[in-house]
Amino acid sequence: MRRTSIIASPRQGRKLQDKQSERDHRQLRIDKVGVRGLRFPIQVRDKANAVQNTVAVIGLFVDLPKEFKGTHMSRFIEVLNAHGGVVHVENIPDILYALQEKLHAATSHLEMEFPFFMAKRAPASGKQSVMDYVARFDAAACRREIDFVLTVKANVTTLCPCSKAISARGAHNQRGEVTVQVRFQKPIWIEDLIAIMERSASSELYALLKREDEKAVTERAYDNPVFVEDLVRNVALKLNAHPDVTWYKVEAENQESIHNHNAYACIEKG
């Protein structure tokens, strides 16, 4: 019988080095370090259906004291997965606190951006289709104090008031993207922010339009011309009237149809 022998490697049994925990002598604190671009299933509140399942692109970060060389990237993923296979929005504070504890940090940050879907009916035919929007959560914890910003993006139609006033036939219009960021004292529905943006434009958009719907949308836009300046002001007025909004930033960018550039406007409160 042949006898085999196993020769141990010189590295076997040796303790693995923890390079991240070594001291750094450059005396520079890092404000945010972590992981970004991680896709993960999440569950958000849905006004029509109680909850909505979607997929977010997530970033997780903490501060790094000046004396440490690096952070432990695997621990961010451990914290996220420790809260289950699906992240619920209500778990965000728990995740932030867990990051602080796991990575011995004073501050923690979480960002997640995801598609949000709504069923909409066409204005004339009543045909139903699904529209997608972009929503984003930016949350930060300093010890136990949390700052939370909700961002929602919606595409709309805008028709130029100047073009309508000076043209004998028709008026040029374009698709515009509206971005609203808010801080609030009570939770605000994503759908409510979408409604505010869409009502502030010349017309809202739809995924499915029949001929009678196209006629209705075209005429609605023609009857309600707005500059990009009008658009942000219309949104800001509605947010000013909202009792739970404590801060906002409204941006609008029109993809001009007769210029080789875009039109942009921004209003920030607070």
Per-residue pLDDT averaged across 228-241, rounded?
98
Per-residue pLDDT averaged across 144-153, rounded?
96
Average pLDDT, the chain: 91
Instruction: Tell me how far apart the alpha carbons of residues 241 and 15 are, in angstroms, rounded to a whole number.
Output: 62
Looking at residue 127, what is its pLDDT? 97
What percentage of the chain carries pLDDT values higher than 90? 79
**Is residue 3 predicted with pLDDT exceeding 60?**
no
**Is residue 112 predicted with pLDDT exceeding 90?**
yes
Query: What does the angle CA 97 – CA 142 – CA 137 come to, to the nearest 5 degrees?
Result: 70
Residue of 210, 195, 187, 39 lying closest to 118 (CA atoms) = 195
Q: Note the pLDDT tens digit of each residue in 37-78.
A: 999 999 999 998 889 999 999 999 999 887 777 778 999 999
Exposure string over 141-159, b if 16+ CB within 10 A, otherwise e: beeeeeebbbbbbbbbbbb
Q: Note the pLDDT tens digit of each residue in 5-35.
A: 555 555 566 777 666 666 767 778 899 999 9
Looking at residue 26, what is its pLDDT? 79
**Is residue 193 predicted with pLDDT exceeding 90?**
yes
